[in-house]
Amino acid sequence: MTVPKSFPAVRTPIVLCVISMLAACSVLPAREPVQIWQPEESALPATTPAANFSLRVDTPNTSGALDQNGIVVMPAPGQVSTYKGARWSEPPALLVRHRLVDAFMSAKLPAVTTDDDHFFADYSLSGDLRAFQSEYRAGSPVVVVRFDAQLRRGGARNLLATRSFVVTQVPVGTPVPQIVAAFGAADDALAQQVVAWTIEIANHDRATHPVGTDDKPSQRR
Q: How far is CA 17 from the centre of its chain?
A: 47
Quick one: CA dihedral 32, 33, 38, 40, positive or negative? negative
Is residue 40 included in any domain, yes or no? Answer: no
Whether pLDDT at 131 is above 90: yes
Is residue 154 included in any domain, yes or no? Answer: yes
Is residue 31 included in any domain, yes or no? Answer: no
Say how many domains are in the chain. 1
pLDDT for res 8: 47
pLDDT for res 217: 40
Whether pLDDT at 218 is above 60: no
Question: How distant, in Å, are the alpha carbons of 86, 123, 143, 180 from that of 139?
Answer: 21, 43, 13, 18
pLDDT for res 14: 43
Is residue 28 included in any domain, yes or no? Answer: no
Question: Residue 112's domain spans which residues?
Answer: 50-209
In percent, how much of the chain has pLDDT > 90?
Answer: 69
Q: What is the mean predicted confidence (pLDDT) over 28-36? A: 75
Q: What is the mean predicted confidence (pLDDT) over 105-131? A: 94
Is residue 38 included in any domain, yes or no? Answer: no
pTM (2 decimals)?
0.81
- Range in 68-77, 90-99, 206-215 with the lowest mean pLDDT: 206-215
Is residue 94 included in any domain, yes or no? Answer: yes
Task: Pick the more confident residue, 149 or 14.
Answer: 149
CATH number at residue 130: 3.40.50.10610
Is residue 16 included in any domain, yes or no? Answer: no
Q: In terms of DSSP H, where are the helices of 37-172?
A: 92-106
Q: What is the mean predicted confidence (pLDDT) over 50-69? A: 95
Is residue 73 included in any domain, yes or no? Answer: yes
Nearest CA to 81 out of 125, 7, 136, 122 is that of 136
